[in-house]
């Protein structure tokens, strides 16, 4: 990547999916313009805004005002914050709120929040009336660069993360970069794990750029917008090539198989581990496991760990507070993961920085042995 210049305060990434194509707008001040942008694209004049108790005091009033000024009649539902909100109970609450608001197919469900709200609201939008319009207004770095784009929605169960859901593409994504200034350092770092992931999948130049420019990404400005736009473009390219994860889209799960197992092992307790932290540890584990299988140099795994550690992310299972269940329990979670096909383990492994690939039929015995080795 080239040096960053502040030529534009806003970027647009188009997701070209034919009749379901949509725009991702990235830049400051987009919540204040949300009503105008939505009204220009959607025919409906009602919207059901779904948010959580952390985000609502910060941005809900501004969004509602913007919608009303654009002639859109909004309703609202404020849910508890946290991963445990991605449940059947709260899915029913969202569906009921959407129906109570008389949202029809051309009207919109608007997700105002991070990945939890986006995944939950998108699932509801996909099943109410067999599908209504959906707008993402992501308020975390993680949701801006990952979960708001691509149409994957879902909830968690005791069997694992995101095992129940539908593919339902948004009609618009408004990534207001101003909102990132209110994130805690921990939340921003967790989102950054997904940014780094895009470089590690197949864009080594982007990863090298991040190694040089990560401090500017964290401090804001042009570098932050550029990193988000590059991440969204990378995800758009993969989604367009494989919308329903039948092939190369699985590469987006780099680090997630190990990461999801760790999230399940901590019962989705955000005090111990949040999603991006699980991805960070999982990404290091994926590179180390690739090295163990003689697919990649151990130097690559060390380089990944060094960078993620430099930005303040956890990189080892031992970095997770509290005790973890035995390796065998982690293995059970991996075996339940949605990336298992016909009982065969599928992992995203790598041959080096930016050289990830889908590995089918990974021996379970090798995975279990590796988990025992890495277990704190």
- Distance (Å) of CA 49 to CA 106, 170, 191: 15, 14, 23
Closest CA to 141 of 217, 78, 67, 212: 217
Residue 274 among known ligand-binding residues: no
Per the annotation, the verdict on 84 as an active-site residue is no
Per the annotation, the verdict on 275 as an active-site residue is yes
Which is catalytic among the residues 90, 253, 287, 303?
253
Residue 320 among known ligand-binding residues: no
Which is catalytic among the residues 203, 256, 338, 374?
256
Q: What CA–CA distance (Å, rounded) separates 124 from 319? A: 35
Which is catalytic among the residues 2, 19, 89, 130?
130
Which is catalytic among the residues 187, 194, 226, 263?
194
Which is catalytic among the residues 46, 133, 224, 260?
260
- Distance (Å) of CA 154 to CA 32, 157, 160, 161, 174: 28, 10, 11, 8, 20
Which is catalytic among the residues 11, 46, 203, 235?
235
Cβ-count burial of 186 within 10 angstroms (0-12 exposed, 13-18 middle, 19+ buried)? middle
Cβ proximity of 175 and 228 under 8 Å: yes
Residue 259 among known ligand-binding residues: no
Residue 319 among known ligand-binding residues: no
Which is catalytic among the residues 83, 187, 226, 245?
245
Residue 375 among known ligand-binding residues: no
- Distance (Å) of CA 46 to CA 30, 99, 134, 274, 307: 19, 12, 12, 34, 45
End-to-end Cα spacing for the chain: 38
Residue 139 among known ligand-binding residues: yes
Which is catalytic among the residues 152, 203, 224, 307?
152
Residue 117 among known ligand-binding residues: yes
- Residue 139 host element (H or E): none
DSSP for 69-120 reads HTT-EEEEEEE--SGGGSSHHHHHHHHHHHHHTT--TTSEEEEEESHHHHHH
Cβ neighbours of 62 (radius 10 Å): 14
Q: Compute φ and ψ for 275, nearest 5 degrees.
A: -55, -50
Per the annotation, the verdict on 86 as an active-site residue is no
Which is catalytic among the residues 249, 292, 303, 307?
249
Per the annotation, the verdict on 162 as an active-site residue is no
Residue 118 among known ligand-binding residues: yes
Per the annotation, the verdict on 130 as an active-site residue is yes
Which is catalytic among the residues 11, 46, 86, 275?
275
Per the annotation, the verdict on 302 as an active-site residue is no
Q: What are the catalytic residues?
A: 130, 152, 194, 235, 245, 249, 253, 256, 260, 275
Annotated binding site: 115-119, 139-140, 152, 161, 194, 256, 275
Annotated binding site for NAD(+): 115-119, 139-140, 152, 161
Annotated binding site for Zn(2+): 194, 256, 275
């Amino acid at each position: 990547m080239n040096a960053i210049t502040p030529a534009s305060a806003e970027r647009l990434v188009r997701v070209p999916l034919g009749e379901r194509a949509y725009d991702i707008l990235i830049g400051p001040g987009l919540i204040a313009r949300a009503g105008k942008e939505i009204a220009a694209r959607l025919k409906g004049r009602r919207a059901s805004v779904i948010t959580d108790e952390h985000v609502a005091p910060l941005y809900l009033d501004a969004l509602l005002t913007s919608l009303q000024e654009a002639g859109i009649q909004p309703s609202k539902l404020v849910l508890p914050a946290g991963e445990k909100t991605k449940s059947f109970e709260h899915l029913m609450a969202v569906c009921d709120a959407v129906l109570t608001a008389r949202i029809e197919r051309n009207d919109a469900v608007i997700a105002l929040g991070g990945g939890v709200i986006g995944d939950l609201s998108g699932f509801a939008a996909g099943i109410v009336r067999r599908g209504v319009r959906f707008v993402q207004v992501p308020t975390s770095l993680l949701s801006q660069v990952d979960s708001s784009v691509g149409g994957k929605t879902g909830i968690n169960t005791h069997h694992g993360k995101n095992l129940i859901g539908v593919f339902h593409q948004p009609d618009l994504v408004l990534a207001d970069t101003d909102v990132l200034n209110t994130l805690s350092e921990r939340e921003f770092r967790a989102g950054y794990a997904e940014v780094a992931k895009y470089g590690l999948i197949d864009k080594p130049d982007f990863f090298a750029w991040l190694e040089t420019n990560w401090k500017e990404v964290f401090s804001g400005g042009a570098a932050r917008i550029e990193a988000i736009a590059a991440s969204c473009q990378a995800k758009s390219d993969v989604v367009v090539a494989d919308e329903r994860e039948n092939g190369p889209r699985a590469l987006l799960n780099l680090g997630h198989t190990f990461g999801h197992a760790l999230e399940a092992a901590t019962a989705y307790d955000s005090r111990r581990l949040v999603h991006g932290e699980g991805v960070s540890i999982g990404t290091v584990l994926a590179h180390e496991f690739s090295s163990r299988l003689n697919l990649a140099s151990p130097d690559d795994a060390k380089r990944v760990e060094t960078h993620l550690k430099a930005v303040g992310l956890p990189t080892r299972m031992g970095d997770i507070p509290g005790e973890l269940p035995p390796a065998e329990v982690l293995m059970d979670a991996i075996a339940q993961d949605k990336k298992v096909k016909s009982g065969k383990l599928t992992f995203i492994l790598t041959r080096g920085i930016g050289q990830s690939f889908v590995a089918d039929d990974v021996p379970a015995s090798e995975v279990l042995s590796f988990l025992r080795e890495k277990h704190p």
